[in-house]
């Protein structure tokens, strides 16, 4: 039973669930909201923040079921909670001081970059931070904090999310970047004004490592061009969030990302081995700092099932909004008006069609047109900005649609999209990303 009710004698329980919690300086209240009821919370006195974003005094905020977060106070605060939690406890041992120290160093570098002539491309470049570590080490959380603290100081750092498994900028299966202009709202997340998004189409990079690398490179190149002409964004730098896959190919992909984005600060969370490996491999690059940081004891581990659920919620949020405040549009398209492509895989060339000695391996970057069939039901497709099929690999995407019906007789496909009106392009990309509306 989630509620701690007190009986009134009439059989109707009174929900006495409000409580106050006093936070000492540099301590945090760690909360897991109950599974099926939201939690209201406010700051009664003092100051407190959630992952780097300060809370307005006395205003009630409503946190959805299952959310896991911490309310941290630098100088002490009293918090009031109304509703049920799965757990809530205060902790005074946190790595927050070491995190904010990193922020202070980054801030110094931003100031130096800003003061440098924009004609000097190196000196005018602010820190490019990449956050790495095993799964559930707090990478996404630390990325958010660094971005929010920077934004609070007036910087507009670029957030780059390379994690196709979770997706904090857009839906899973994508990599994306967006400037952060304000501290990240703990409830609303990152505002989705025109993020730069590339669709990979799967939630694990092992499905097509080559494609993943190509898209990371495209994203980096486009950002490089945008930043070259924007001194403000250049000085503010980047925070790059990565996947928790750090072994084997995962490690190789981390090195690839560090290299491709010219990262100059590598923050390693919670793993000695990864830290020493990266330090050794990067020691001949004197301009790259590899920094080891402690994982917070508050980070909650998530099972594969929970991750799957979180992915599904992210897709739901894309179409329906975080507070269920959007209504997606249902539209019908003729098969002939759409042109759907898959990257990699697909039918292999028959051995007889290949030069002697050649391998019959499918080209991971091969673009194959896809015939629409019933199997496409419940797939999430990306709408490419490509003008021609051969631009699909190098084009970012406008957004996503969700296939809700396929009528093979009438050759019509019904889909949900976040906005009304015609799709910005007829070129769609399909991967293995599916969703079941719940
Ligand atoms: P992944 O490998 O899946 O990307 P991650 O390393 O990015 O994981 P986070 O997503 O940052 O880890 O953290 C995991 C969960 O723990 C999140 O739900 C986050 O909100 C929660 N969390 C992080 N820090 C704290 C904290 N100090 N107190 C309570 N919850 C926390
Ligand atoms: Mn993460």
Q: Which atom of ligand 1 is nearest to the CA of 244?
A: 2
Report the largest interatomic distance among the alpha carbons of the chain, rounded to a whole angstrom: 87
> In this structure, which ligand is nearest to the CA of 89?
1
28 labeled binding residue: yes
What order do you get walking across the sheet with 61-63 strand by strand?
Answer: 18-23, 77-83, 39-46, 61-63
136 labeled binding residue: yes
Pick the CATH number of 327-349+360-434 from 2.40.30.330, 3.90.380.10, 3.40.50.300, 3.90.1580.10: 2.40.30.330
Domain boundaries, the chain: 18-91, 95-293, 327-349+360-434
**CA 204 / ligand 2 centre spacing (Å):** 13
**CA 175 / ligand 1 centre spacing (Å):** 19
Ligand 2 is an ion; its neighbours by CB within 5 Å are 139-140
Q: What is the CATH number of domain 18-91?
A: 2.60.120.1030
**CA 375 / ligand 1 centre spacing (Å):** 35
Residues 71, 219: Cα–Cα separation, whole Å: 34
Do the Cβ atoms of 135 and 269 come closer than 8 Å?
no
Ligand 1 pocket test target in 29, 168, 241, 300 with most atoms within 8 Å of CB: 300
pLDDT at 355: 64
Q: Which atom of ligand 1 is nearest to the CA of 297?
A: 27
Cβ count within 10 A of residue 58: 10
Model pLDDT for residues 65-90, shown as the tens digit of each residue: 999 999 999 999 999 999 999 999 99
193 labeled binding residue: no
139 labeled binding residue: yes
Q: Which residues of the chain have pLDDT under 50?
A: 1-14, 347
**CA 345 / ligand 2 centre spacing (Å):** 28
> In this structure, which ligand is nearest to the CA of 245?
1
The candidate with the shortest Cα–Cα distance to 170, out of 380, 420, 414, is 380
Pairing mode, strands 128-132 and 265-269: parallel
Do the Cβ atoms of 42 and 16 come closer than 8 Å?
no
**CA 139 / ligand 1 centre spacing (Å):** 7
Ligand 1 touching residue 148 (CB < 6 A): no
pLDDT at 264: 96
Token pair for 233:
């964004």
pLDDT at 166: 87
pLDDT at 15: 56
Ligand 1 touching residue 30 (CB < 6 A): yes
19 labeled binding residue: no
Q: Which atom of ligand 1 is nearest to the CA of 67?
A: 18
Ligand 1 touching residue 234 (CB < 6 A): no
> In this structure, which ligand is nearest to the CA of 141?
1
Ligand 1 touching residue 161 (CB < 6 A): no
Q: Which residue has the tokens 């196709």?
A: 164
**CA 412 / ligand 2 centre spacing (Å):** 38
Model pLDDT for residues 166-211, shown as the tens digit of each residue: 888 999 999 999 999 999 999 988 887 789 999 999 999 999 999 9
Ligand 1 touching residue 141 (CB < 6 A): yes
pLDDT at 213: 97
Three-state secondary structure along the chain?
Answer: CCCCCECCCCCCCECCCEEEEEECCCEEEEEEECCCCCEEEEEEEECCEECCEECCECCCEEECCCCEEEEEECCCEEEEEEECEEEEEEECCCCHHHHHHHHHHHHHHHHHHHHCCCCCCCCCCCCEEEEECCCCCCHHHHHHHHHHHHHHCCCCCEEEECCCCCCCCCCCCEEEEEECCCCCECCCECCCCCCEEEECCCCCHHHCHHHHHHHHHHHHHHHHHHHHCCHHHHHHCEEEECCCCCCCHHHHHHHHHHHHCCCCEEEEECCHHHHHHHHHHCCCCCCCEEEEECCCCCCCCCCHHHHHHHHHHHHHHHHHCCCCCCCCEEEEEEHHHCEEEEECCCCCCCHHHCCCCCCCCCCCCCEEECCCCHHHCCEEEEEECCCCHHHCCCCCEEEEEEEEEEECCCCEEEEEECCCCCCCCCEEEECCCECCCC
Q: Whose CA is nearest to atom 22 of ligand 1?
A: 299
Pairing mode, strands 412-417 and 68-73: unpaired
pLDDT at 2: 38
pLDDT at 8: 38
**CA 129 / ligand 1 centre spacing (Å):** 18
Q: Whose CA is nearest to atom 9 of ligand 1?
A: 138
- CATH architecture of the domain 95-293 equals 3-Layer(aba) Sandwich (3.40)
């Amino acid at each position: 039973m989630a509620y701690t009710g007190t009986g009134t004698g009439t059989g109707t329980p009174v929900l006495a669930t409000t409580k106050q919690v006093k936070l000492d300086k540099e301590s945090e209240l760690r909360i897991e909201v109950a599974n099926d009821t939201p939690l209201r919370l406010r700051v009664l006195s003092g100051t407190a923040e959630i992952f780097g974003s300060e809370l307005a005094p006395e205003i009630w905020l409503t946190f959805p079921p299952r959310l896991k977060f911490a309310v941290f106070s630098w100088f002490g605060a009293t918090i009031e909670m109304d509703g049920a939690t799965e757990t809530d406890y205060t902790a005074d041992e946190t790595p927050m001081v070491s995190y904010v120290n990193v922020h202070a160093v980054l801030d110094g570098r931003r100031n130096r970059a800003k003061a440098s002539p924009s004609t000097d491309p190196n000196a005018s470049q602010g820190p490019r931070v990449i956050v790495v570590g095993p799964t559930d080490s707090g990478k996404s959380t630390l990325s958010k904090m660094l971005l929010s603290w920077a934004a609070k100081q007036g910087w507009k750092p670029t957030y780059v999310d390379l994690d196709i498994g979770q997706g904090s900028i857009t839906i899973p299966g994508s990599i994306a970047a967006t400037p952060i202009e304000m501290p990240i709202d703990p409830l609303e997340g990152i505002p989705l004004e025109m993020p730069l998004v590339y669709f990979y189409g799967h939630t694990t990079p092992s499905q097509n490592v080559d494609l993943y690398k190509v898209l990371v490179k495209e994203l980096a190149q486009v950002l490089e061009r945008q930043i070259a002409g924007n001194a403000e964004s250049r000085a503010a730098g980047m925070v790059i969030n990565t996947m928790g896959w750090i072994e084997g190919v995962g490690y190789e992909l981390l090195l690839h990302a560090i290299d491709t984005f010219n990262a100059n600060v590598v923050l390693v969370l919670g793993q000695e081995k990864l830290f020493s490996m990266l330090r050794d491999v990067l020691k001949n690059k004197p301009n790259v700092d590899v920094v080891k940081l402690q994982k917070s004891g508050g980070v909650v581990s998530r099972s594969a099932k929970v991750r799957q659920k979180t992915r599904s919620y992210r897709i739901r949020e894309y179409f329906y909004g975080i507070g269920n405040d959007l209504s997606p549009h249902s539209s019908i398209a003729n098969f002939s008006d759409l042109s759907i492509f898959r990257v990699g895989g697909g039918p292999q060339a028959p051995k007889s069609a290949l030069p002697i000695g050649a391998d019959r391996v499918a080209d991971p970057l091969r673009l194959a047109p896809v015939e629409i069939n019933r199997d496409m039901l419940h797939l999430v497709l990306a709408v490419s900005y490509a003008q021609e099929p051969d631009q699909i690999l190098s084009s970012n995407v406008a957004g996503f649609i969700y296939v809700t019906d396929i009528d093979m007789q009438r050759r019509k496909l019904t889909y949900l999209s976040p906005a009304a009106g015609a799709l910005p392009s007829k070129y769609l990309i399909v991967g293995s990303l599916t969703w079941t509306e719940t």
